[in-house]
Amino acid sequence: MHPTHVLRHASLTLAALASLGLTACGGSDDTSSPLAETPVVVPAEPAGLGRADTAEPPAGVPAYVDTGATNQRGVACNATLETNAGVRVLKGFLDLWTPRSAFVDADQAAPAADGCAAVAKSDWDGVPGSATDGGVRNQAAHDHNIAYSVTVTQARTPAQELAAYLDDRRGKSYSISDALGPLTEAWRAGTHQSTTITAIAADATTRKYDDAGNNRGDGSATNPDLGKAVDLVVAASVDASTEPAKRYYKYARAYRWNPQVSVVPALVPAKSATPASDGGFPSGHTAEAWRDALTIAYLVPQRYHEMLARGMEMGENRILAGMHSAYDVMGGRVMAIAQVAFNLNKAGNATLKQEAYAQSQGWLQARTGAADFNALATLAHSAPLASDRFADHAANRADFSRRMHYGFPAVGGTALAASVPKGAEVLLETRQPYLSAAQRRVVLKSTAATSGAPVGNDDEGWGRVNLFAAADGYGRFDGDVSVTMDAARGGFHALDRWRNDIAGAGRLEKLGSGTLRLAGQNAYTGGTLLGGGTLAADSATALGRGDVFVKGGTLESAVAGTLAVGGAYTQTAGTLSLVMRGVDQGSLAIDGRAVIAGGKLVVSFAGYTPRAGDSLTVLQSAGRSGRFSEVSVAGFGKVTPIYTERGMQLRLEAR
């Protein structure tokens, strides 16, 4: 479009505006004092950066989603860092530790096959500090890791001990399904999940329990309810063993490094007597829980964050149990994320994904009586913290962030640019269906963990993927972002909320009929352009620090205090909807100039009951020109808009 657009002509006067019908509903367009109305010159739309951001996979790096089937043990051709995807994805651990030998060979040989030389069984005995052990590369980091296990297991509470015991002995999929909150019962009924481990018996210090229940449930061959969902959970764990990596890295369990690491008494019988076949890194329990949690989150994205939080909790419970170190559980998480992406990207699973998703949503809605996806989402978050320990999103986020690396010091450069592994975007496919695959990759890039963390420095970038943050939308606009949401498609197409604090110099453009809510303390500077649907501000700085241009749709503010516009505000069409909580609570505070060249102003109230005669401040700016074509105030049939040089007020005349 042209750099500027003049409404009719540059000298459009107050009288001319009135003749175009720019008046208040049931009221008057009189002002409190005569104004020499400034001509309405519509500025250009916010320019942003003029390009979209991209997140191409790192060049020259074998992709896990292409090579995940090489994660095998006892196979000579898959016995090295270069030839085994499961080993390679944890390459960052080599910054900390040098294994006894550079092969998948602990307690197992691999015969020659397919032109690959035989691999002999390692002489690693699994005992830290022995003559056959590997070598610590970063002593301070290693000592910190083991000391952390000592500290947390010595300070473990009875409740933590019970949780650690249950997560160890129960089936992992059954354990983590409690993160579905109000949907847990329906999920377990549909999958046919069960457990026989419910508590620690009086003689638990001398007994080891095995779960005789139905961990994941029954597949579609015998289960018409959620059998397809179970099929996908199983399919997401194909070629997903942690054993090849354990037998490559040959890093002992925490309690073998230091006897002060306290194993939960009821789990002492579960300790292996053959350390050479029982390495600690990576944690198998953690990886299994994460694989199932990610797959259930894919099928029930209404509880996406909560399922990820449960995966993290399972990992921490392995540390509290005394069975694994923090490095072990970090490795289990990283490996699981790559493995699930590998399996969800398989062409052979494409139909199963669709069928399992549809079945999961249909079953849960029917079982709970929810009318649709969004009603199920409301139900999924209806329980209080007392009965749903994952009900507090902010607490989940804080716990997730802490458990990413447990506050451990960096072991590498902290300013490296993020790279996004090939195929990682599939993990957000049902959580952000209104974004393209390329956009979901940028979301992952913009929310990636800082570089340099322990176990987080693989060549592809799996160690830096932060799915909890990514599920809350972009973390940065380093390019212009255009979001089109189709409310008719329901689900997140109709309504989603971005909670991240968004930085960057890019522009946000909202199109389509759906609603996008912005809840972060945003600082992006490229501006905001609204062309359709609803863009809702749930924080005072939701719109960043740039210009805001409304040419369609509804800009909604429901914040306490004022909604800040860091640049100019322009409205040519559409609706500005303000929810006011006082005579000046809920207004627009515009740093730049306000140009109102049409469109509607709709005011409603929350926690405040205005009276006839009240005057509401709805807009303050560095300068104002133009007027709304229509003004509507809930509960009042006559309203007088009062336009000033720098803003606008509403005088409420009569209900």
The span from the CA of 179 to the CA of 252, in Å, is 31
pLDDT band at 198 (very low <50, low <70, confident <90, very high): confident
The span from the CA of 58 to the CA of 459, in Å, is 8
Domain 64-409, what fold?
Vanadium-containing Chloroperoxidase; domain 1 (1.20.144)
Please give the single-letter amino acid code of residue 13: T
Does the pLDDT of residue 168 top 80, yes or no? Answer: yes
Does the pLDDT of residue 29 top 70, yes or no? Answer: no
SS3 for 524-549, per residue?
A: CCCCEEECCCEEEECCCCCCCCCCEE
pLDDT at 208: 72
pLDDT at 206: 61
293 membership: H or E segment, kind and range: helix 284-299
pLDDT at 209: 78
State the helix-helix crossing angle for 139-154 and 304-320, rounded to 10 degrees. 90
Q: What is the mean pLDDT of the chain?
A: 93
Phi, psi of 496 (to 5 degrees): -145, 165
Q: What is the pLDDT of residues 69-121, one digit of tens each?
A: 999 999 999 999 999 999 999 999 999 999 999 999 999 999 999 999 999 99
Alpha carbon 353 to chain centroid, angstroms: 20
Nearest to 211 by CA among 159, 179, 164, 169: 169
The span from the CA of 321 to the CA of 618, in Å, is 57
pLDDT at 36: 59
pLDDT at 21: 37
Does the pLDDT of residue 13 top 70, yes or no? Answer: no
Residue ranges, CATH 1.20.144.10, the chain: 64-409
233 membership: H or E segment, kind and range: helix 227-235
